[in-house]
Amino acid sequence: MIQIRLKPKREKPLLQRHPWVFSGAVDSVEGVPEPGETVDVCSSAGEWLARGAYSPHSQIRIRIWTWEESEAIDESFIAPRIQRALLSRERLAGVPEVTAYREVFAESDGVPGLVVDRYGDLRVVQLLTAGAERWRRQILDVLAKAGECRGLYERSDSDARALEGLAESVGPLWGELPQGPVEIKENGLRFLVDPVAGQKTGFYLDQRENRTRVRAIARGGELLDCFSYTGGFTVAALRGGVERALALESSVAALEMARANLALNGLADDRLEGIAGDAFVELRRLRDRGRQFDVIVVDPPRFAPTSSQVQRAARGYKDINLLAFKLLRPGGLLFTFSCSGGVGPDLFQKIVADAALDAGVKANIIEWLGQPADHPVALSFPEGRYLKGLVIRVEG
């Protein structure tokens, strides 16, 4: 097996079972490993540390499969890991109100690069790294055989693939595939999900419990659902007792599906106003027109995929939250989120605090929100925590 030697004093993260080796920590590579090939990682003194998948094009040069020298990375190593991940989601699967959830969450489940989302009896899979791609056949084999699933569809079209030097890979893989969108249930709400044409694998599953919080807390008045996608928060808020909603979203197709989702939940169409456009522009227009809302949800896309884009991302969050504060009625509620891994919870809170100050409002945080149980965070991999949210009440 090819050996990678680390630079002096760069072994600490591996000793703490962090699963990444950055290119800057690598001192020497013995030979030329292929993308995804399994390599041994040693300290500068030659001590064996871990075994992982080599990725020649990524800044994350090696993703660790094992810290046990005796564990072989062969035909059969991946199946038990996937099965363990599936088993750990059984509590969710056993709940009739939830038919869509993340079954495998990459590093957190010991399978870097593999994401599997479940929509009823359909599995949607993303192979995002050279290592996951290398074990494609074995991974898909387990997923096709694992219980109660009738179809497997691939959506490996994330930007992450490009960073790994991999081309997009999208399409049916196995079994029966539904024609058009599938219907899922989320804590008593019904949603249409399009795994083929939708964003990511079709639905933002990570916001499930936060939608439930909006439904529980928001009462009466008007909602602004900024970055609404297919109306997850809109439907939750309307069912929770909000009277009318304005959904702001750049994708026309997503707004159309939001309307279909209203109908699916028995909500009258005239309770939703949709604006297709750029939130940074449209929020200013709403402000200039003097519009006011009782509840605002701000759930933007990832502004900072990596820590190098943090400055720019911080400006984006500040701008959008400042506008949101200006659009809130006294006593109103803001649910504001960041899914940028590069912006930690403390920084996010500080940005939102600055926005409130500039908007001239006094406000309290009444809840901190995060990601649900099917998006766990391994203690040795804090980067797995990416979604954070604040529930803020502006003084009345």
The residues that are catalytic are 339
- Tell me whether residue 257 or residue 394 sits nearer to ligand SAH (CB atom): 257
The residue type at 312: R
- Tell me whether residue 54 or residue 204 sits nearer to ligand SAH (CB atom): 204
- Tell me whether residue 44 or residue 250 sits nearer to ligand SAH (CB atom): 250
Shortest Cβ 170–ligand SAH spacing (Å)? 18
Strands 60-66 and 20-22, bridge-based pairing: antiparallel
Shortest Cβ 204–ligand SAH spacing (Å)? 4
DSSP characters for 168-194? -EEEEEEE---SS-EEEEETTEEEEE-
- Tell me whether residue 229 or residue 381 sits nearer to ligand SAH (CB atom): 229
Whether the Cβ atoms of residue 55 and residue 32 lie closer than 8 Å to each other:
no
- Tell me whether residue 175 or residue 301 sits nearer to ligand SAH (CB atom): 301
Residues that bind ligand SAH (CB under 6 A): 199, 204, 207, 227-230, 232-233, 249-251, 254, 278-280, 299-301
The interaxial angle of helices 279-288 and 310-327, nearest 10 deg, is: 30
Shortest Cβ 71–ligand SAH spacing (Å)? 38
Shortest Cβ 213–ligand SAH spacing (Å)? 12
Which ranges of 39-89 does DSSP label H, i.e. alpha helix? 78-88
The phi, psi pair for 62, rounded to 5°, reads -135, 135
The residue type at 367: E
Angle at 50 between CA 45 and CA 55, to 5 degrees: 105
Q: Which of 64, 60, 72 is nearest to 16 (CA)?
A: 64
R_g of the chain, CA atoms, integer Å: 22
Shortest Cβ 190–ligand SAH spacing (Å)? 14
Q: Which of 369, 370, 317, 321 is nearest to 343 (CA)?
A: 317
